[in-house]
């Protein structure tokens, strides 16, 4: 495969989390792939609600536009809600993959069913919607929350143990063959949890990186007929004026 420039976007604005995500992405990237992990200039510090997710999208799309100018070959959206994924696919020349989509599809290859272990209970509904949207609802045996706020993944010394215990319960109680980590901020916990619980544990950042690389190697990108064509040019006003398609 020729040299590839892969842009990994953390849709929240917490730089330390971007660093964790970038490290996880680089660890699985192929030789010749340059990982460019970026943080939007605007948006929420973490994404834990529909409101957060909606307000994360403009900053994320600005990073897609910047990636296009930089010659990026493909993109990973590193938030488990996959915010703005369809809009990003309208803008990008190369493939765009969200970590929830990549993780769920990858986990479905590993056995009869999987569980998702995420941060807050209020995000369970969004994960359920995504599993259905991606055709993974039949394989998804449970979605569980640790009730750890996203930013506390970096600061709570008990976070790793609590997540690991919830993964153990998922395997025992849901009868799952694999576990999906439901937050990009958990990317650095994957190997530890897999060793502890004894089943494959899927980190969406890693799964998305390898998925994008495969699509790029195959010369594939999002089709641009109909729904995913470049958005029609029109005026945008106020703070959104810079997002106008010309």
Instruction: Convert 70-93 to b/e letters by CB count within 10 Å (16 or more is b).
Output: eebbbbbbbbbbbbbbebbbbbbe
pLDDT for the residue 2: 82
pLDDT bracket for residue 76 (50, 70, 90): very high
State the Cα–Cα distance between residues 103 and 208, nearest whole angstrom. 7
Question: Which neighbouring-strand residues pair with 114?
Answer: 140, 178
Q: Is 52 left (phi over 0), alpha (psi -120 to 50) or beta?
A: alpha
State the Cα–Cα distance between residues 13 and 2, nearest whole angstrom. 31
* Mean pLDDT on 47-72: 98
Q: Which residue segments constitute the domains of the chain, with CATH numbers given?
A: 4-98+206-243 (3.40.50.12500), 101-204 (3.40.50.12500)
| Run of H or E including 15 | helix 15-28
* Mean pLDDT estimate for the chain: 97
State the Cα–Cα distance between residues 199 and 201, nearest whole angstrom. 6
The 10s digit of each residue's pLDDT in 123-145 is: 999 999 999 999 999 999 999 99
- For residue 1, is pLDDT > 70? no
**Encoding tokens for residue 187?**
């990317």
The 10s digit of each residue's pLDDT in 93-113 is: 999 999 999 999 999 999 999
* Mean pLDDT on 25-47: 98
State the Cα–Cα distance between residues 74 and 92, nearest whole angstrom. 8
Percent of the chain at pLDDT > 70 equals 100
* Mean pLDDT on 145-155: 97
* Mean pLDDT on 155-164: 97
Predicted TM-score of the model (pTM): 0.97
**Are β-strands 33-38 and 4-9 bridged in parallel, bridged antiparallel, or unpaired?**
parallel
- For residue 13, is pLDDT > 70? yes
> How far is C-alpha 17 from the chain's CA centre?
13
């Amino acid at each position: 495969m020729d040299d590839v420039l892969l842009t990994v976007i953390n849709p929240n604005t917490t730089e330390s989390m971007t660093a964790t995500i970038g490290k996880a992405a680089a660890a699985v990237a192929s030789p010749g792939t340059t990982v460019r992990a970026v943080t939007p200039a605007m948006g929420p510090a973490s994404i834990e609600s529909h409101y957060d997710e909606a307000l994360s999208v403009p900053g994320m799309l600005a990073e897609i536009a910047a990636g296009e100018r930089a010659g990026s070959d493909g993109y990973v959206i590193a938030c488990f809600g996959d915010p703005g994924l369809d809009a990003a696919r309208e803008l990008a020349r190369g493939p765009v993959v969200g970590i929830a989509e990549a993780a769920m599809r990858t986990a479905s290859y590993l056995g009869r069913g999987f569980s998702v272990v995420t941060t807050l209970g209020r995000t369970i509904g969004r994960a359920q919607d995504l599993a259905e949207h991606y055709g993974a609802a039949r394989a998804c045996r449970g979605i569980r929350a640790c009730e750890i706020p996203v930013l506390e993944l970096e600061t709570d010394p008990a976070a790793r143990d609590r997540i690991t215990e919830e993964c153990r319960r998922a395997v025992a109680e849901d009868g799952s063959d694999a576990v999906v980590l439901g937050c990009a901020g958990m990317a650095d916990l994957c190997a530890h949890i897999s060793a502890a619980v004894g089943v494959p544990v899927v980190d969406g950042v890693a799964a998305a990186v390898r998925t994008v690389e495969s699509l790029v190697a195959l010369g594939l990108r999002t089709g641009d007929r109909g729904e995913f064509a470049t958005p029609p040019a029109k005026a945008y006003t106020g703070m959104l004026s810079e997002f106008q398609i010309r």
